[in-house]
Amino acid sequence: MDFKLTEEQLMIQQAARDFAQTELLPGVIERDEHSKFPADAVKKMGELGFLGMMVDPKYGGAGLDSVSYVLAMEEIAKVDASAAVVMSVNNSLVCAGMEKYCSEEQKQKYLVPLATGEVIGAFCLSEPEAGSDATSQKTTAIDMGDHYLLNGTKNWITNGSTASTYLVIAQTDVEKGHKGINAFIVEKGWAGFEIGLKEKKMGIRGSDTHSLMFTDVKVPKENRIGEDGFGFAFAMNVLNGGRIGIASQALGIAQGAYELALKYAKERKAFKTEIINHQAVAFKLADMAVNITAARMLCMKAAAEKDNGEDISISGAMAKLFASQTAMDTTIEAVQIHGGNGYVSEYHVERMMRDAKITQIYEGTSEIQKIVISRGIAK
């Protein structure tokens, strides 16, 4: 692999770094404390092209590669993991899924405003009884001729209340199991579509997570994505790419916590010396540096394979599995290095520790990544 970044990739990385420092850092503690969605920053992210990074410019996107996306995600997540998940869902689940699998009409109508950041999207697979076990969909979409009638509940939906366009996975033929599942484009405001209360979360508190309720929602036939029965394959293939986004989010959280811990260890004195001179502290930093470098390599490898059109089911899962563990380990030790200061909000690392945990849960738990990897390598 060629690890040298191109001029363009370096430029994107710098632009994301500058944006995170100027637009996300101020207020990040307050937004976490009050569970406040970063609305202004998300609007600006759209204007800068960060919400449709990999989408072809003919659909309003920035036309960049997945490596650039990883670089930008890392910079955003380093400062604000909540803004990063909004970006990840819009880019690698919603826009990527639509660009690859939607019809030209669907793209013109729905993808263009999503890629430009005029509106944001949500990806709705999980249900109260179908999280890891995603084929057990209880939400139904009954074929009524010119439309489907959608009924059921989706859980834990990121951008749940702030999105305008929702990709909803539903069972259309129970007899056919996962081959009887379809994916639909649903608009906010359609009769029978209700948004539940916002979840009170441990971390990524700036992102809005809601359950969604559908009662006899009429979904026009032309809003089905792909051929009849394509919905589960759609979800799985989209998630393969999405996992690179969450891996990069985890990488950013880890890098952010590491940088803060390193700085603190060089400044804070105990026993007449900077604490970095105590080997127990220095070794924690060494472990962090090794794991973060390895996580970054896995993210880059998966992104490069995606750009080459290769199957990324294994490499995406590996990147997510390792980077999320790294985020967790690094943030826990970053808090430890900060001592008592690590336990209060103004030093950032306690928030990063809370934010890190979700990366081991959503877009497939770590246990599910191991299932994907082990089944893949057994093939």
Residues taking part in catalysis:
363
Distance CA 274, CA 57 (A): 51
Query: CA separation (Å) from 78 to 15, 66, 255?
Result: 14, 18, 6
Judged by beta carbon distances under 5 to 8 A according to partner kind, the member of ligand CAA, ligand FAD, none in contact with residue 124 is ligand FAD
> In whole angstroms, how close is the CB of 345 to ligand CAA at the nearest point?
24
- The crossing angle, in degrees rounded to 10, of helices 349-358 and 81-88 is 30
Sign for the CA dihedral angle at 367, 313, 70, 27 comes to negative
Site for ligand FAD in 71-130 (CB under 6 A): 89, 122-126
Distance CA 122, CA 95 (A): 10
Distance CA 57, CA 37 (A): 28
Helix (H, G, I), strand (E, B) or coil at 50: coil
Distance CA 243, CA 225 (A): 21
Give the x-and-dash track for 197-236 against ligand CAA (CB under 6 A). Answer: -----------------------------------x---x
Of 281 and 318, nearer to ligand FAD (C-beta) is: 318
> In whole angstroms, how close is the CB of 227 to ligand FAD at the nearest point?
22
Judged by beta carbon distances under 5 to 8 A according to partner kind, the member of ligand CAA, ligand FAD, none in contact with residue 178 is ligand CAA
Q: Which residues contact 368 (CB under 8 A, 6 or more apart)?
A: 132
Sign for the CA dihedral angle at 263, 260, 257, 83 comes to negative
Of 15 and 213, nearer to ligand FAD (C-beta) is: 213
| Among candidate residues 233, 232, 249, the one with its CA nearest the CA of residue 360 | 249
201 belongs to the binding site for ligand FAD (CB under 6 A): yes
Out of 6, 21, 22, 132, point to the residue binding ligand FAD (CB under 6 A): 132
Out of 27, 131, 180, 376, point to the residue binding ligand FAD (CB under 6 A): 131
Nearest-CB residue to ligand FAD? 131
Of 232 and 258, nearer to ligand CAA (C-beta) is: 232
Give the x-and-dash track for 60-99 against ligand CAA (CB under 6 A). Answer: -------------------------x---x----------
Positions that interact with ligand FAD (CB under 6 A): 89, 122-126, 131-133, 156-158, 201, 204, 209, 358, 361-365, 367-368
